[in-house]
Amino acid sequence: MSNLTTFYIQWTLTKEAFEVDLDTLKAGDEILTVESENDSSENYTFTTQCVGVLRSNTHMSISLSYKRHVGENAQVSSDWLFGESSIEMEKASPKTWKAVAFWLCEDPESSGAAKRCMVFSGPERRTFELLVRAGQQAFREALIQRAGGPENCACELTGFIGTPALDAAHIVPFELDPRPGNPQNGLLLRADLHRLYDRNLLRISPSGEVSWADGWTHLSYPTLVRQLSADTLSRVHGSLAKRAELETKHPGLFASPPSLHAL
């Protein structure tokens, strides 16, 4: 009996979905995967080949080779990458897995861990794990200590003091940061502002000025925030400029994550 597992992977510039039977998957099997750019609703189907499967009682590793799929995809942009990915899975319970996907490519804008790898199995269609970024806690601690320690650190946009409510926000996305964990690429933000910043609803220019996406300017949030301090701006200016450059080059990079139904 077929035991299909569905993978939803959010890469840096694209999103992807495919199904496999984990019990029978073997090297040489071909898999059809559906991909689309983050800022596009148009889907493209590609052929991938399983080039390796490692299994144990608690772990599973899958390697996939991506190949250009002709026909309906003949007009796909040459920017699309074709190479290999690795999906590392760990048993979370007898019926569930947690997983993280890695793109194995020399391109610095696409290699590294996926923003999230969502795995659904059987009829439950249950999310097993959102990726926890390696080193995130150390990155947060570095920002807290730089700001004067847990008793003195504050949100860098509101002045709110309350360490448990503060997140370490990456300016340039974690996957594209050449030096992950570098405090020059981080801001201590109140958790709700961190979410808004990641989704580009709250924007910070290279000059430290804050602006808001349409639909947010009439709410109370704009009255809570302030321009970055001169000290903070001196530290993060380079990262803010890099983020602005990336947004110009890839307009969908900082958009709100798509819902599962959009895949």
What per-residue confidence (pLDDT) applies to 35? 79
Q: How many CA atoms lie within 13 A of 37 on its CB side?
A: 13
What per-residue confidence (pLDDT) applies to 218? 63
What per-residue confidence (pLDDT) applies to 17? 84
Closest C-alpha to 46, from 24, 79, 18: 18
Residues 178/180/181/185 CA torsion (nearest 10 deg): 40
Helix (H, G, I), strand (E, B) or coil at 24: coil
What per-residue confidence (pLDDT) applies to 214? 79
What per-residue confidence (pLDDT) applies to 127? 36
Sheet holding 30-37, edge to edge: 112-113, 96-104, 84-93, 59-67, 44-55, 30-37, 14-21, 4-10, 116-121
What per-residue confidence (pLDDT) applies to 191? 85
- Please answer whether residues 51 and 63 qualify as being in contact, where contact means their C-beta atoms are separated by less than 8 angstroms: yes
What per-residue confidence (pLDDT) applies to 143? 93
Residues 39/45/46/48 CA torsion (nearest 10 deg): 110
Closest C-alpha to 152, from 166, 138, 139: 166
Residues in the chain, pLDDT under 50: 1, 70-71, 73-74, 122-132, 257-263
What per-residue confidence (pLDDT) applies to 171? 93
DSSP code for 261:
G
How many Cβ atoms are within 10 Å of 227's Cβ, its own excluded?
14
- State the DSSP H helix or E strand holding residue 222, giving kind and residue range, or none if neither: helix 221-224
